[in-house]
Amino acid sequence: MTAGAGLRIVDIDAEGVNIAFREDVVTGLAETQKAIPARWFYDLRGSQLFEEITRLPEYYPTRTETALLRDSGPEIAKMAGPDRTVVEFGSGSSVKTPLLLSAIAPRAYVPIDISGEFLRQSSRDLAKKFPGLPVIPVEADFMRKVDLPPRLIGESLLGFFPGSTIGNFVPHTAIDLLRSMCNTLGRNAQLLIGIDRIKQVDRLLDAYDDAEGVTAAFNLNLLHRINRELGADIPVDQFRHVARWNEGWSRIEMHLEAVKDVRFSLCGRSFSMRVGETIHTENSHKYSPRQAILLLHASGWSPLVRWTDDQDDFLLFLAEATQFRSAP
């Protein structure tokens, strides 16, 4: 079965520009600490580069979570029950998503992603691997409640949010996102989510600044995307990738640092940066098991099962939507 046409819930202007992308970039570059949300990494090229990152020897999260999914598949299937529809927040991973789909044999698969081109490509690939499975891509910003296709009303849904992507968000935004997922999926839903654990700083820095320079290319590709889609003239070769550990926030930060004074224009506005000034492009927060459980409870999810690896590198949770109760 081929992937269905799916839905598109993204605001595009008359010139084909993603309105939210333009607003986030212009607003972020006007701030004292320039910043652009990490979700805009993922145009087609950015998504391809991230797939390369997941195969790097320094990048432990993907192989660790993959092993957890492979080993826990039968237990996940038992806990989830039959005939669930999998709703993945982000285009399907070429490795992890098939593991989950094979383990639980879902009724349908619904990937939600803001990168339409990569979403459609990954949906076609998964449809070929699972010819009897309906694949229904939804192009949308899952940072907000997403109206799923009407055919899913009343179905039992299993949300899937792997890769410790939740770590990209500061805690209050992470809570808002997980609550939004709960609203999207409905009262009887479950959520399978990966969360990266706190560990040695040198291992974290290596994972986000690999020797081959793939993560650097991934970070710099954001500037190429801005130039291409927003008509900017950012001198990309005058920026470099930087990864830092922020102890106070328990997170890795990625920045794009100007290696000399630069000036550029964007959407009719001029911007300048001094040498050493940065654009903050990504956070990757790390959690202890206790902190991760608190995060889920605060977001409307009750953890059912927790899995971790032998080195305590990564956490995989299966949670269910918390039933409303009036007591405090």
Tell me the per-residue pLDDT of 101-158, one tens digit each, with 9 for 90 and over: 999 999 999 999 887 788 888 899 999 999 999 999 998 888 878 889 888 888 899 9
Q: What type of residue is 323? A: Q
**Model pLDDT, residue 4:** 54
Q: What percent of the chain has pLDDT over 90?
A: 78
Token code pair at residue 284: 């990757």
Band of residue 328 on the pLDDT scale cut at 50, 70, 90? low
**Model pLDDT, residue 327:** 59
Average pLDDT in the chain: 92
**Model pLDDT, residue 2:** 46
Mean pLDDT of 191-217: 97
Token code pair at residue 64: 């660790």
Q: Report the alpha-carbon distance of residue 186 to residue 177 in Å, rounded.
A: 14
Band of residue 7 on the pLDDT scale cut at 50, 70, 90? low
Range 121-135 burial, b when 16+ CB lie within 10 A, else e? bbbebbbeebeebbb
Q: How far is CA 51 from CA 84, 118, 122, 218, in A?
A: 27, 11, 11, 10
Q: Report the alpha-carbon distance of residue 130 to residue 132 in Å, rounded.
A: 6
Whether 33 and 165 have beta carbons less than 8 Å apart is answered as no
Mean pLDDT of 83-110: 91
